[in-house]
Structure 1
Amino acid sequence: MGTSQITAPSRGPSPVPGDATPSSGVIHINFRHAAGFTVIGNHLTQHRGLSLTAIGLAAHIQSLPAGARIGIKHLAERFPESETRIAAALRELEAHGYLHRSRVRLPDGRIVTRTVSYNQPGADASAAAAPQPRTRRGKPATPLPPPQPPRETAPEPRPTPPPAPVPQPQPLLARTLVPAPTAHTTPPPPLPQPQELTPELQRAATALLADLRRHAPQLTLSEHDIRTLAPGIATWLERDAHPDTIRHTLTTDLPNPLKHPAKLLRHRITTLLPPPLPGTQDIAALARPGVIVIPLQNCDHCDRAFRSRHPGHCRDCRTDLHTAA
């Protein structure tokens, strides 16, 4: 009973034989990979200018085989990060030289995005050292000169000019697309303007435009857009269009998604503008078109009213006169 029993060792065994266990911080337990691994430099994994998302994304891209898809939508389906964070991480890697993206036109006319990944930005690709051969006894043999990339044999000089080089696909951003001299676009029609933009019309049009977001949240307009579109709405109100009719016209059948609400409203205000209401005389003329109105006359004998172009006697009095005669 006097012997003390030891239930736990004074310190844990060292994870790495021969190395002292650190008192704090991370402890590495490393095993050599035999297959399925990628060599990534510490300049990337410990980069102080990149975010953790960008570092992880670069490590993932460097582990992919050539030809793998690394578009923003494809990566967003693969990882829980949003498209916005993935796009920002790609821009970080592009800014620090780990990625280079360009849009190129293929010989068949299609435009694709070409992405080049660099595991060591700034390094010369031709400076990679080739493996040194060894003799049967294990001693290194005489080092061979580094392999040289194949070079195209230049054509022999001839008195005639050399053939034209084969056109290579160039980045789309490097070329300037200039429209043909004859190409022209039709400008949009001008916004309707009222005959007199009174303060009452201005306030009513501004209130109607600002109130559209209550009925359609997609139509949330800025103050500048409201001031610009207000004369068009004032023209509708000037032509006796009811505010509910205007609101229904502007908020019905909206596209989804709606990218430019102000442009859509400008188009509808301009193209769907109703004509002015006709006057009373125009309505009377439209009620019985082509009908000739014969005036009323008073009979000279019985004073009865009858229709005739000339004064005289009514039908009954004319009959009595013919009978008497």
Structure 2
Amino acid sequence: MDTSAAPSPRPWTDVTGAVPGLKLVVLDMDGTLLDGDDAVPDAFWDLLPVMQDRGIVVVPASGRQYATLERMFGDHGIRTFIAENGTLVVHDGEVVSTSPVDSPTVGQVIDIVRTGETDRDLGLVLCGPRTAYVEREDARFVGEAGRYYASLRVVPNLHAVEDLESGTVLKCAVYDFDSAAQAAPSLFTGGGPGVADLRDSHQVVVSGRNWIDIMNGSANKGRALRALEMSLGIPRSATAVFGDYLNDLEMMAEADWSFAMDNGHPAVQRAAQFIAPRNTDGGVVQVLQKLLGV
């Protein structure tokens, strides 16, 4: 996404009042909606019924799996999700779109991570539509993976998992205990000797301090949002999005009301229309209160 000619984002206080006709609110989780304790702010739950009463579709959009998002929000009446960084979109229990990674690439990633473990402290999660798989079974890694994958299975050999054989792996999520930004070039983008550049055919996204996501070349949250807007018949003029990191970048172009968090990545801030307060200051809630006029 080329943001070189994009105008500078404005402070969220430039939004002068409630936005009539708002129909879709799309929320990244970590660094965006979630607070410093990785929890949904209490004030958000007060706003949710207001949005639902107005017919606004509220959509968690995350690198987390569908099962995790459904566990977090399903009991509150949220039924639409952009999961696995856009490789799976679900509305009212029905799949709107899916973008699996081809099985040969998944196998290559498994081998790269296994080899890279000699130099870096790595773990790999293969993400299927219903469950995720790991072969590293120590509590340190499984605990980190379990934060994002409510449905997680430890298996003896990732090459033998059912979703790999059926070609339905949605994402390969690599955890580096040190720095994902350092690990990505040396492992997946041609920076190290003999390392293939998977960016030629796939999305290689640093989605946080420790996570690298390898996805279908056409998959990202922006494309997922566009598919959802088309499915629901909601235009970008009636859509608001919130995000903070590079895996949120493409979403900014799919909504007229796009907000990058004040704690967000500079590239995401440049792509957004507005800068919202930090997630630790309840930035999403503050902006939603203004957009809703409450």
The structure whose RCO (Cα within 8 Å, separation 6+) is larger is 2
TM-score (norm 2): 0.17
More strand by share: 2
TM-score (norm 1): 0.16
Greater C-alpha Rg: 1
